[in-house]
Each structure stands twice: as structure tokens, then as C-alpha cells.
């Protein structure tokens, strides 16, 4: 069975080693236990992210509700403000379209380039091991 080599600077290694206490110094590493620890870590991080997002959402609306109510009466009804909002919208839309076309061209080039080759990564091997019911050994490198 082919051994999978993973980098210690990857996002999944950080999640497995810090959040779910993955034993990074042990000798018996396989993709099945590693995937389980990464999934537990992602679940914990998603719960924490949802809680932080809820608190941030409430704080955002309190702070900007007060600021908007003050600014609405002072600034919103001037002709300069209306012209500024229209110009910002036009420039923002133009920039978004330009950047989207650039990203599309980069994506097309990377797919049609004959030298483009994806290496074996964690997610591909985790899916294959789940589907095939086998556990690939893992080696971690710096």
C-alpha cells in the first residue's frame, strides 16, 4: 500500500494537532484515524465560528445602527452623497467584472496547461479510503 506524505504546515494538520489532540509523534499514523480527528476538529471550529459570528452580528448591528441613524440625517440627503454612491457602485461593479475575467483566464490556463498536475492530497485520499474501506499509512514531513 502506498504511503501518503503530508506536510506539517497544512491546515488539516494544525486542526488535528491543536483542536482534537492528534498524536503527531506516534508511529502508527493512518488516514482513517487522522480523518476522524480532522473532522472532530472541524466540527468544534464550526461551533466556535457560529458563536463568534452570532456575537459579531449583534455587535455590528448595534454599532452601525447608531452610526447610520446619526449619519442618515446629516449626510444622506445631499446631492454630493448621491453622486458619490452612484460612482462607487459603477467603479465597484467594473472592478468586479475585470477581476472575475482575470480569475477565469487563470483558471482556464491552469486546466489546459500540460504541465498542470495535481498531487495526491489529504481530501482525495480521505475520500478514497472512506469509499474503499482501507487505511493508507501517513508520514508527516516538515
Q: What is the pLDDT of residue 117?
A: 57
Distance CA 41, CA 89 (A): 40
Distance CA 140, CA 142 (A): 7
Radius of gyration of the chain (CA): 24
Using an 8 Å Cβ cutoff, are 27 and 138 in contact? Answer: no
Residue 13 has φ and ψ, to the nearest 5°, of -70, -40
Taking Cα atoms as reference points, which of 30, 29, 26 lies closest to residue 125? 30
pLDDT of the chain along its 142 residues, tens only? 577 777 788 888 888 877 655 555 555 677 777 888 888 888 988 999 999 999 999 999 999 888 887 777 666 667 777 788 889 999 999 999 999 999 888 777 666 665 555 556 677 777 777 766 677 777 777 7
- pLDDT tens sequence across 83-110: 888 899 999 999 999 999 998 887 776 6
**Upper half-sphere CA count for residue 90 (Cβ side, 13 Å):** 6
Amino acid at each position: 500500500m502506498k504511503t501518503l506524505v503530508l506536510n506539517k504546515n497544512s491546515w488539516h494538520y494544525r486542526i488535528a494537532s491543536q483542536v482534537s489532540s492528534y498524536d503527531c509523534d506516534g508511529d502508527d499514523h493512518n488516514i482513517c484515524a487522522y480523518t476522524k480527528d480532522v473532522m472532530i476538529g472541524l466540527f468544534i471550529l464550526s461551533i466556535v465560528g457560529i458563536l463568534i459570528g452570532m456575537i459579531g452580528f449583534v455587535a455590528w448591528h448595534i454599532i452601525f445602527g447608531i452610526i447610520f441613524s446619526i449619519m442618515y440625517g446629516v449626510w444622506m440627503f445631499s446631492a454630493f452623497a448621491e453622486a458619490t454612491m452612484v460612482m462607487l457602485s459603477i467603479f465597484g461593479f467594473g472592478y468586479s467584472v475585470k477581476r472575475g475575467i482575470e480569475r477565469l483566464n487563470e483558471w482556464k490556463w491552469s486546466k489546459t496547461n500540460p504541465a498542470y498536475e495535481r498531487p495526491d492530497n489529504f481530501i482525495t485520499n480521505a475520500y478514497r479510503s472512506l469509499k474503499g474501506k482501507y487505511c493508507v499509512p501517513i508520514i508527516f514531513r516538515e
